C-alpha cells in the first residue's frame, strides 16, 4: 500500500469520530427536538421511510413519544464522555503503575505484576458488573468502576516498555548525571512511551463505549430518562418484536462510533509507531 493508502483508515475513522464528537458537542443545536419532551399523541412512530413515518421524527419515536434522533444525538454526549473519562482514569492509574514496576523492578515489580495477572484473570465484564451493582448505578459510579477495572492493560504494556528503556544509554546517562528517579522517569522514559499510550488509549475508548453501553443496556449504568445509547438499546429490546427501530438505531450509533475509533486508533498506530512501519517496509521489500 502507498503511504497515502495507509492514511485512509485514519481519515475514515477521523471522519466518523468527528461526526460523533460534533453530535456530542453541538447536541442542542443539532437535535430537532427536546430529547426529554414526551408526546402521548406521537408514540412509537416508525422511521420516515416506513409507512406512517414522517420528517418530523426522521428516525421515529419511542414509547413515550420522544424523538429517537434527538435522543441519539444527546446520547453521544453521555456515551463518549463516560468512555473518555473512564479511559482517563484507567490510563493515569495504569501508566503510573507500569512506570513504577518497570523502572524500580525487583519487589515492587513482582507485586504489581502479580496484581496485573490477577486482574487480567478476572472476567472483566463480570467484575465491572458486580462492582456497579454494589456501588449503585449512575454516571459517576460507572466511570469510577470502569476506570478502576480497566488499568491493567496499560500497566502490562508500559512496564514492558519501561524495562526496555531503563537499560538504554540515554537513561543510564541521565542517572549517571545524578537526576532523581522521578525526573528520569518523567523526562526520559515517559516521553518515549507517549505514542504507545496514545494508541492504546484511543482504542480503549471504543472498548469502554461498548462496556458502558452494555452496563446501561442491563440497567446498571446511565439511568432513565437520561438518553444514553446503551439504555436506549435496553428499552428498545423490550419492543424488538414489534418496533425494530427502537433497538436498531441506538445500536448502530454505538457500532459506528466504535468503528470510527478503531479505524482511527489503528491508523494512528501505523502513523506513530516507527518500528511497525519499518517492519512493514522490510516485509514489503522481500
From CA 125, how far away is CA 23, in angstroms rounded?
A: 28
Grid cell of 225 as nine digits = 430518562
Which residues 227-246 are close enough to bind other proteins by CB under 8 A?
233, 236-237, 240-241, 244
CB neighbour list of residue 58: distance below 8 Å, 6 or more residues apart: 32, 47, 48, 69
Which of 4, 29, 40, 121: binder of other proteins (CB under 8 A)? 121
Q: Determine which residue in the list 25, 37, 120, 281 makes contact with other proteins, applying CB under 8 A.
A: 120
- Concatenated DSSP letters of 212-242: HHHHHHTTSSSPTTS--HHHHHHHHHHTTTT
Residue with Cβ nearer other proteins (193 or 233): 233
Of the ranges 38-46, 97-105, 180-188, 255-263, which one interacts with other proteins (CB under 8 A)?
255-263
How many residues belong to the site for other proteins (CB under 8 A)? 48
**In angstroms, what is the minimal distance from the CB of 214 to other proteins?**
6
Surface-to-core class of residue 274, CB atoms within 10 Å of its CB (0-12 exposed, 13-18 middle, 19+ buried): exposed
Min separation Cβ 132 and other proteins, Å: 8
The least CB distance from residue 120 to other proteins, in Å, is 7
Stretch that binds other proteins, among 21-29, 170-178, 250-258, 268-276 (CB under 8 A): 250-258
**Among 10, 4, 16, which Cα is nearest to 198's?**
10
Residues in Cβ contact with 111 at an 8 Å cutoff, skipping those fewer than 6 apart: none
User: Least distance (Å) from other proteins to the CB of residue 186?
Assistant: 26
- Interface residue with other proteins, options 59, 143, 217, 235 (CB under 8 A): 217
By CB under 8 A, is residue 21 in contact with other proteins?
A: no
Asked whether position 172 contacts other proteins by CB under 8 A, the answer is no
Tell me the CB-side half-sphere exposure of residue 4, using CA atoms within 13 A: 0
Instruction: Spell out the alpha helix ranges (H) of 7-138.
Output: 8-25, 27-30, 68-104, 106-121, 124-135
Smallest gap from residue 219 Cβ to other proteins (A): 7
CB of 257 to other proteins, least distance (A): 8
Residue 254 interacts with other proteins (CB under 8 A)? yes
- Residue 91 or residue 116: which is nearer to other proteins going by CB? 116
3 state DSSP class of 17: helix
Q: Tell me whether residue 74 is exposed, middle or buried, using C-beta atoms within 10 angstroms of its C-beta: 0 to 12, 13 to 18, 19 or more.
A: buried
Q: Which residues bind other proteins (CB under 8 A)?
A: 1, 9, 114-115, 117-118, 120-127, 129-131, 133-135, 206, 210, 213-214, 217-220, 233, 236-237, 240-241, 244, 247-248, 251-252, 254-255, 258-259, 261-263, 266, 283, 286
Amino acid at each position: 500500500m502507498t503511504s497515502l493508502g495507509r492514511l485512509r483508515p485514519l481519515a475514515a475513522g477521523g471522519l466518523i469520530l468527528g461526526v460523533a464528537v460534533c453530535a456530542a458537542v453541538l447536541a442542542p443545536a443539532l437535535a430537532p427536538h427536546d430529547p426529554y419532551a414526551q408526546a402521548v399523541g406521537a408514540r412509537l412512530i416508525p422511521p420516515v421511510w416506513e409507512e406512517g413515518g414522517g420528517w418530523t421524527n426522521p428516525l421515529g419515536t419511542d414509547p413515550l413519544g420522544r424523538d429517537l434522533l434527538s435522543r441519539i444525538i444527546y446520547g453521544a454526549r453521555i456515551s463518549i464522555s463516560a468512555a473518555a473519562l473512564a479511559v482517563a482514569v484507567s490510563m493515569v492509574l495504569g501508566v503510573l503503575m507500569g512506570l513504577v514496576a518497570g523502572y524500580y523492578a525487583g519487589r515492587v515489580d513482582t507485586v504489581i505484576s502479580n496484581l496485573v495477572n490477577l486482574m487480567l484473570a478476572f472476567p472483566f465484564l463480570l467484575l465491572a458488573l458486580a462492582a456497579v451493582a454494589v456501588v449503585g448505578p449512575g454516571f459517576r459510579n460507572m466511570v469510577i468502576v470502569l476506570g478502576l477495572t480497566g488499568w491493567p492493560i496499560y500497566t502490562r504494556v508500559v512496564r514492558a516498555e519501561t524495562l526496555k528503556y531503563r537499560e538504554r544509554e540515554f537513561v543510564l546517562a541521565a542517572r549517571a548525571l545524578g537526576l532523581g528517579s522521578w525526573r528520569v522517569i518523567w523526562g526520559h522514559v515517559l516521553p518515549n512511551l507517549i505514542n504507545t499510550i496514545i494508541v492504546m488509549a484511543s482504542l480503549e475508548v471504543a472498548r469502554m463505549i461498548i462496556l458502558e453501553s452494555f452496563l446501561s443496556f442491563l440497567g446498571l449504568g446511565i439511568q432513565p430518562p437520561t438518553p444514553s445509547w446503551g439504555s436506549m438499546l435496553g428499552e428498545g429490546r423490550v419492543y424488538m418484536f414489534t418496533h425494530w427501530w427502537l433497538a436498531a438505531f441506538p445500536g448502530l450509533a454505538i457500532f459506528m462510533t466504535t468503528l470510527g475509533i478503531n479505524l482511527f486508533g489503528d491508523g494512528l498506530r501505523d502513523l506513530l509507531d516507527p518500528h511497525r512501519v519499518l517492519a512493514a517496509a522490510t516485509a514489503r521489500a522481500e
